[in-house]
Amino acid sequence: MRIPSTRLLFVPCLLALAATPAAAAGQQDAPAPREARIKIDLDRTIGEVHPHVFGHFAEHLGRMIYGGIYEEGSPLSDADGFRQDVMAAVEALDVSILRWPGGNFASGYNWKDGIGPKASRPVRVEGAWNALESNRFGTDEFLRYAERIGADPYICINLGLGTIEDARHWVEYTNESRATAWADARRRNGRDAPWNVKYWALGNEIDGPWQLGHKNADDYAKVALEAAKAMRTVDRDIKLVANGASNFGADWIGWNRTVLRALRNHVDYIALHTYVNNRDDDVEKFLGGWSRRIEHYIDTTAAQIREAQAGQPDPRPIHIAYDEWNVWYRAFEKEQLEEIYNAEDALAMGMFFNVFFRHADVVKMANLAQMVNVIAPIMTSREGLFLQPTYFPIVEYGKQRGNLSLDAWVSGPTYTIAPSPVPIQYLDVSATYAPATKDLFVNVLNRSRDRAITARVEHQTGDLPPEAAVWELHPSDLKATHTFGDDRKVRPSTRTVRIDSAGDGFSYTFPAHSLTILRLRLP
């Protein structure tokens, strides 16, 4: 995930947030609402919102690991060195799957440096971020941490400077139950039972010239194929993730096509990476332009998966793992990527999740990069932590994991972003349904900077409850940020509203630059 200056041209941009809803508050300072329609049909399902869409990423970069989730000797840490205050905040995120150790770091990492007695582990200069790596947090520490927070571990092997043999040994160390050299090494290091790591990435961003061990598509596909075969000789049940596009300024379509054709019978996912920004200080362009671009990346890759599978009588299912995504553009190496997020950035979380939900049939994993301190929703000091504005939408959207994504029909006011003449809806909508509880969620991002929009929310069968639960994020200052001791400026409000339904729907006014989640328990 390293982005030197030469890569800035390729990095996506996104984000915006909410203002006080004039209609709800009875104020008249906003333009008059305009009517729109959001139509929900429970039979029009897209796919399951997989729990792994609510994954995160932990790289050996800056203070993500050391001083973030792990701080030996701190009064805030437990006997394992894990920061307990951070763990509580992470547990509220309900992280489903945690990717480690990188990122760019992975392409120069020797996992064997990070096992065994800590006093004998070597200190190395790592090549991705030019930092000293103590190796005091290694494989067993990571797997113990993932176990503690209830997340599935997801390990990225080194296919930059590493070898296939190293990758095979790593799977043996974590997953082998028999008495072998590397399984016995795990036992000597305190873990008798296998860790049973199921998810493995075949390298990180090898398409990028910034990456240690960068390769062209053909060369990557060859080494990834052999690594996949070797790793599965140790554990045939593991799930493998191929490197898809991260360098969108190059021939990313050609890269994906080559990789999918070579690995279509061996991998379970192809990874995409996207970072977005609002350098133009235009919230409507930020939230609309990047949403359209991310959908293009997903739709194109999904079509390439179908192309690679065409003609095979029993093709292997392949899904998309969006295993690096976030807003990032202000903080780079000098600031150790410690991005300070604002209210606009919080809105962008809704933009990402709405896109993922609308593609729930193919996007089956997504990992926010990263979890603590480094472009993260949680920031720490030696004394404590604060929650960034982006934290709260992540928590709320996470309550929809396992639901069925619905193909909502939307009409209403639109706008365009030059030079494209293609209109973009101001209302960015996704919807999900939980059959067990009959809970219907309607997620609405109003991208308009100034315009509250009234929409008629229609249910195909006409069955509606008498009230709806509302979660809404709409701060008056889109540039508001948080810091230590002051992290309440950008917080969601919750309330229950009566539904004055007429026929099969009801009207609701979505404030300008806001993110709203309506929850209705259907009869």
Residues taking part in catalysis: 205, 324
* Neighbouring residues of 410: CB distance < 8 A, sequence distance ≥ 6: 36, 37, 38, 39, 425, 427, 429
Which residues, in sequence order, are bridge partners of residue 404? 48, 433
Neighbour-count burial for 238-248, b at 16+ CB within 10 Å, e otherwise: bbbbbbbbbbb
Separation of alpha carbons 410 and 414, rounded Å: 11
Separation of alpha carbons 298 and 306, rounded Å: 12
Q: How far is CA 181 from the centre of its chain?
A: 36
How would you class 401 by CB atoms within 10 Å of its CB: exposed for 0-12, middle for 13-18, buried for 19 or more?
middle
How would you class 440 by CB atoms within 10 Å of its CB: exposed for 0-12, middle for 13-18, buried for 19 or more?
buried
Main-chain dihedrals φ then ψ at residue 404, nearest 5 degrees: -90, 125
How would you class 44 by CB atoms within 10 Å of its CB: exposed for 0-12, middle for 13-18, buried for 19 or more?
middle
Separation of alpha carbons 523 and 521, rounded Å: 7
Separation of alpha carbons 489 and 51, rounded Å: 29
Separation of alpha carbons 335 and 7, rounded Å: 18
Which residues, in sequence order, are bridge partners of residue 93? none
Residue owning tokens 């972003």 = 417
**E strand intervals along 291-423:** 319-327, 363-369, 378-380, 385-387, 404-406, 409-411, 414-415
Give the N- to C-terminal CA distance of the chain in Å, as an integer: 46
